Structure 1
């Protein structure tokens, strides 16, 4: 078992390499700023997924769900083609 210094009280506590582990002395999380950053990244990721124009929602009609699935398919194909072209340009000698 590892130990980590608590960012709140400064004492060393047992740590299972999980940012949400609790300090043995003050009872606060050992993650500190890292835990806040991780939670912010997860919230941003969820927001980005919800705001994606081809995100299929339960409340969408069947027609709209179908259009979004087709849009996702063509977007994926488009990005694959663009990535391949960029790879070709980067791989050219000179």
Structure 2
């Protein structure tokens, strides 16, 4: 069996410019200065974790439980308008595609 904890890869630390073992993970740290070997990947992971923990903002046409009848009606009409616009746009794209050849 092979040992998966050891790494045959090395990477130059962007902070201290020394070579360190690298397991190609975003949280790998330099053996010399302790900085992240891939700071962009670490920021991306942190952003993804932050976005996963944030509650999503409701969309414009999402019907809430506390909306009254008039607001619900106009939100439904907005959704219908979005679908119709998408269908018309798809139709024009299809016509242009077929006409091109």
TM-score of the pair, normalised by structure 2 = 0.48
Greater Cα radius of gyration, structure 1 or 2: 2
* TM norm structure 1: 0.50
